[in-house]
Amino acid sequence: MTPFPERVFSGIQPTGNLHLGNYLGAIVKFVALQKTHECLFCVVDLHAITVPQEPNELRAAIRKIAAAYIASGVDPVKNIIFNQSQVAEHAELAWVFNCVARMGWLNRMTQFKEKAGKDRENASIGLFAYPTLMAADILLYRATHVPVGEDQKQHIELARDIAQKFNNDFAESIAANGHEGGFFPLPEPLIQGPAARVMNLRDGLKKMSKSDPSEYSRISLSDDSDTIAQKVRKAKTDPEPLPTDKDGLSGRPEAENLIGIYAALNDSTTEAVLQQFGGAQFSAFKQQLVDLAVAKLGPIGAEMRRLEQDSAYIDSVLRDGSQRARAIAGPIMNQVKDILGLIR
Ligand code: TYM
């Protein structure tokens, strides 16, 4: 039914160290999707400045995300890898969307509430408007599919609402400009899989995040083998052996999380992992998890460290990707201006 060709867009913020949640919730999907789709993978640096950033750290963090994409197996020739701020149309379309989205919609965003905390009056306007920039990221390329972790679901739903409202509000002008079936697609989130929400290793009820004060709460992509092993061994568990089926995981968030991580790293399913380890003690399972995590993540971390030494190469990838991204974004932004009645 959709008149839009399939196109994938996703992004990661250059803030803090990338962790296993970012890898399994997002990057692993990027690596798979590049085989079947036209893809753009962005380092969303304009999102990072919605909270204070130290310039030298930000520069390093932007390169680090690009290095992580490449080290994980995203091909920078086949796909477009770029940083958001080099394509001015992201900010331009975000402004248009600030005028389409409603205050009430943004007031419902749970991530803003979490990030702003109690001191909402003191949060930046950028932090509040963050989801309209995210909608612009996706819709600037008329992307149809967005691989993300579960925590981004609400933002993608907002992007769909914005696309729908734009299509409705300007329906006549959109048709007059020769576009059939609306101007923007309603993008679909790609969230499924056993690691859609990787949890904190010290508390299975909290999400694994860059901001938790404890390094033991997460595995970072830059961790070496010993650190990965230590973090898995220290991960919180319960005293029971592992269950044999999924029902046995209910009320056992830490067990569910570790099984999900194993399944995702092994490109398998929770059911298959439980079949293999059901009845085993955590100590035996953890050893297998360490071996798997070190085998999968070790080479990525090593390649990231190598690429980070070569900032000229990373910068050339970002420049090239930005140029290719602009070639898609420019004409779409021009069409948006025509639809709105702006003279160009
Ligand atoms: P960010 O930078 O916080 O996270 C990057 C990606 O990692 C996923 N993720 C997780 N997945 C599973 N378990 C976890 N514990 C976990 N933590 C993070 C996130 O869901 C995300 O896919 N707003 C976005 C960045 C963004 C974006 C976009 C994404 C900006 N524009 C356009 C897609 C399309 C964010 O802050 O992700």
3-class DSSP string for 148-191: CCHHHHHHHHHHHHHHHHHHHHCHHHHHHCCCCCCCCCCCEEEC
Work out the angle between the directed axes of helices 311-340 and 55-72 (0-180°, nearest 10).
100
Residue 153 annotated among the catalytic residues of the structure: no
Pairwise CA distance, residues 180 & 145, whole Å: 20
Provide the 8-state DSSP code for 247.
G
- Cα of 20 to ligand 1 centre, how many Å? 12
pLDDT in tens, the chain (344 residues): 457 999 999 999 999 889 999 999 999 999 999 999 999 999 999 999 999 999 999 999 999 999 999 999 999 999 999 999 999 999 999 999 999 999 999 999 999 999 999 989 999 999 999 999 999 999 999 999 999 999 999 999 999 999 999 999 999 999 999 998 899 999 999 999 999 999 999 999 999 999 899 999 999 999 999 999 999 999 999 999 999 999 999 999 999 999 999 999 999 999 999 999 999 999 999 999 999 999 999 999 999 999 999 999 999 999 999 999 999 999 999 999 999 999 99
- Nearest ligand 1 atom to alpha carbon 15: 2
Q: How high is the pLDDT of residue 176? A: 97
The residues that bridge with 145 in the sheet, in sequence order, are: 8, 188
Of the options 1.10.1530.10, 1.20.1440.120, 1.10.240.10, 3.40.50.970, the CATH number for the domain spanning 215-306: 1.10.240.10
Residue nearest to atom 14 of ligand 1 (CA): 21
Q: Give the pairing of strands 199-200 and 203-207.
A: antiparallel
Given the residues 29, 64, 207, 236, select the one marked as catalytic: 207
- Counting ligand 1 atoms within 8 A of each CB, the residue from 89, 141, 151, 191 with the most, and so the one to mutate, is 151
For 7-196+310-340, give the CATH class. alpha beta
Residue nearest to atom 27 of ligand 1 (CA): 11
User: Does pTM surpass 0.85?
Assistant: yes
- Encoding tokens for residue 180? 């059939």
Beta-strand runs (E) in the chain: 7-12, 38-43, 80-83, 145-147, 188-190, 199-200, 203-207
Q: How high is the pLDDT of residue 107? A: 96
Q: How high is the pLDDT of residue 3? A: 76
Residue type, 196: A
**DSSP 3-state assignment of 308?**
helix
Q: Are 136 and 9 within 8 A, CB to CB?
A: no
Please give the biggest Cα pair distance in the chain. Answer: 69
- Cα of 147 to ligand 1 centre, how many Å? 9
- Nearest ligand 1 atom to alpha carbon 199: 15
Residue type, 197: R
- Positions of CATH 1.10.240.10 in the chain: 215-306
- Encoding tokens for residue 75? 């091909």
Residue nearest to atom 6 of ligand 1 (CA): 22
- Positions of CATH 3.40.50.620 in the chain: 7-196+310-340
Ligand 1: which residues within 6 Å by Cβ? 9-13, 21-22, 25-26, 44, 47, 134, 137-138, 146, 148-149, 151-152, 155, 195-198, 207-208
Q: Is 23 exposed, middle or buried (0-12, 13-18, 19+ CB in 10 A)?
A: buried
Closest Cα to residue 162, out of 181, 191, 137, 192?
Answer: 137
Angle at 237 between CA 232 and CA 238, to 5 degrees: 160
**DSSP 3-state assignment of 326?**
helix
Residue 115 annotated among the catalytic residues of the structure: yes
Angle at 224 between CA 222 and CA 228, to 5 degrees: 95
Look-up of token digits 């400045």: 49
Pairwise CA distance, residues 131 & 234, whole Å: 36
